[in-house]
Chains A and B, each alone.
Chain A
Amino acid sequence: MQSGPLSLENRAGELQDNGQPLLQIRDLKVGFAKSHGILPVINTANLTLGRREAIGVVGESGSGKTMLCRSVLGTLDRHGARVLGGQIMFEAHDLANAPESVWSKVRGKQIGYVPQSSLAGLNPVINVKTQMVEAITAARPMSVQDAEKEAVELLEVVRIPRAKDVLREYSYQLSGGMRQRVMIAAALAQKPKLLVADEPTTALDVTVQKEILTLISRLRRELGMALILVSHDLAVIEEVCDSLMVMYAGASFEAGSVSVTVHAPRHPYTKALHDSRVDTAERGKPLEAIAGEPPTIGSWPSGCRFWPRCPLGDDKCRAGDQPTLRHVAQQLTACIYAERMGDGHD
């Protein structure tokens, strides 16, 4: 491996952490409270994230990946949902169902957030400066002058040119990429230990996406932050993340390092997701589409939720509950037939 002072420092930092994960989500269950009862949206999710580690969460719409972000940010109740079970261990504190008094010390301070839509994330009638100052002074009271100075520094950290001019502008005057940079700068204001980015580049052009991904991965390394990057795009996660968690119908299906999970998966859904990619498909060959449709929230099938679409699905798969994650080779997988899957398909 690399030598040099920087890498030594990193190693020392890791030893200091005693190998304790920064974030550990165990058997998380989340649901919406409806008049006729509880509508489950996550059942069950598991995720382990070390310090400075970047994990990607991939899943299709309805898989629960955005609700997972909201669980980690403590904003479920704003959307009419709540934690029904399980743990969200962050630095040895269980945040599942933590009161707002606890969340207000964590959210935005130790856990930063970059939303999908930077247009919705910024207030259109307040200029960038006011919003940046608010983000900075939220946890650290200081004079407006000092906060403004820091705002300029933060905008420079996210490589915004003419930072002083941009401070006076409003969100509608900025391009999508610039808005997303401002959102990242605001998220960095309290030097969070963990950054949660929910589809941060979905609405952006491919060249701007590249800039934002480059920025996020560079900042993560420079500031020693851990990262949860939610995306429906495996290619994006492959570029930025160390590890990957695959979600389907509200459950964790597979987790492991990015390269093994993508190229030697131990869950048929992960394999199917990779095989249906158009960006790696061979021209002239039909795409390997996954048959059928993902189940809608609240009407998950019995047993493994993927069995109706799964090439390995049989009577054993449809019995009982959604299988929980277990170790197979280097992977965590929820498939009861994971051993049947070979060592790679590429």
Chain B
Amino acid sequence: MPNEWVTGMTEPLLEARAATVTYGYGGAAFNAVNDANVYVQPGEAVGVVGESGSGKTTLARVLVGLQPPTKGNVLLEGKPIFGATAQRKFPRSERWKVQMVFQDPYSSLNPRQRAWEAVAEAVSAWQGLRGNQAKTEALRLLRSMGISPEQAEQFPHRLSGGQRQRVSVARALAPKPKILIADEPTSSIDQSAQAQLLNLLSQLQRESGLAILFISHDLGLVRYLTSRVYVMKRGDVVEQGDTVRVFNKPENPYTRLLINSIPGHSSLAETTLPYES
């Protein structure tokens, strides 16, 4: 199989090259991510799907720089940020380019900070704005995510899950990143809030050229939002490619199983339970 990053026209924005993450030692050691080659082009919406234990969250942590791979490289705009060839481990001057939206909007916001303060802190840190200027920019970012100035004055517990998640996205946008890594961004919010958030994210991706990597167990979401997808199983990338192709003509049996498990994709009556002949 040809290496797509070699044949691709543009240089990937963010890339994991032969990245392996090993947890544990000796006999108990296992690879949470095993020799993964994953890349995102500038402005691209890419999905990583897999079930619990597939390694998708570990991969996200490696790509966002929260943890180094045990083996292999992570490259940001072609420059290694981790791995043997990296001169410095993910220098601060580069970190603004990659931002993350976490799964749980309840624990990822400081309960003692008002919504605008959470965003203003990131604005100060990355744009160097202070005081009222930082607040104005924070309110602008929040407004772009559909959070009114009145809501921005609230503490997180006064906001709904969907509102909190939009505050988290506004905060992630503060450094004007090139890529957003969203780890299960909608799994803890209601359906009507999910639609609002996904519309805002895909609008950002289409209109502002922001690349987004969606990590999700929700295949419906990945099918709808992304143009390319990686399917992970127990640390391995078992299938990758154009999202429409993968969903319409999955090549790997595990991908087929996943897709057939989506409610509505095959009837329950025809499903054979495991442990049945």
Report which A residues bind B (CB closer than 8 A). Answer: 60-61, 159-161, 176, 205-211, 213-215, 217-218, 232-233, 235-236, 238-240, 272-273, 276-281, 283, 286-290, 293-294
Q: Which of B190, B223, B261, B264 has the most CB of A within 10 A?
A: B190
For the A-B complex, the count of residue pairs with Cβ-Cβ distances under 8 Å equals 111
Cα–Cα, bound, A119→B75 (Å):
40
**Which residues of chain B are within 8 angstroms of A208 by Cβ–Cβ distance?**
51
> What is the interface of chain B mostly: helix, strand, loop, or mixed?
helix
Closest to A160 in B: B275
**Which residues of chain B are within 8 angstroms of A279 by Cβ–Cβ distance?**
220-221, 224, 262-264
Cα–Cα, bound, A63→B268 (Å):
28
Closest to B52 in A: A205
In the complex, per-residue mask of B179-207: 1 if CB is within 8 Å of any chain A CB, else 0: 00000000000111111101100110000
Given A159-B275, A207-B51, A207-B258, A281–B224 Cβ distance below 8 Å?
yes
Report which B residues bind A (CB closer than 8 A). Answer: 51-52, 160-163, 190-196, 198-199, 202-203, 217-221, 223-225, 244, 257-258, 260-264, 267-269, 271, 273-276
A293 with B162: CB separation less than 8 A: yes
**Which residues of chain B are within 8 angstroms of A281 by Cβ–Cβ distance?**
224
**Which residues of chain B are within 8 angstroms of A205 by Cβ–Cβ distance?**
51-52, 217
Cα–Cα, bound, A210→B191 (Å):
20
Closest to B268 in A: A214
A161 with B275: CB separation less than 8 A: yes
B274 with A211: CB separation less than 8 A: yes
Contact of B271 among A214, A273, A288 (CB under 8 A): A214
**Which residues of chain B are within 8 angstroms of A210 by Cβ–Cβ distance?**
260-261, 263, 268, 271
Given A214-B273, A217-B268, A281-B224, A232–B263 Cβ distance below 8 Å?
no
Contact of B268 among A213, A286, A293 (CB under 8 A): A213
B223 with A283: CB separation less than 8 A: yes
B258 with A277: CB separation less than 8 A: no
Contact of B220 among A160, A209, A217, A278 (CB under 8 A): A278
**Which residues of chain B are within 8 angstroms of A287 by Cβ–Cβ distance?**
195, 198-199, 224
B199 with A207: CB separation less than 8 A: no
**Which residues of chain B are within 8 angstroms of A276 by Cβ–Cβ distance?**
191-192, 194-195
B263 with A233: CB separation less than 8 A: yes
Cα–Cα, bound, A281→B198 (Å):
12
Given contacts A210-B261, A278-B198, 8 further A-B contacts (CB under 8 A): A160-B275, A206-B51, A214-B268, A239-B268, A276-B195, A281-B224, A287-B199, A293-B160
Contact of A294 among B192, B223, B244 (CB under 8 A): B192
Cα–Cα, bound, A286→B204 (Å):
12
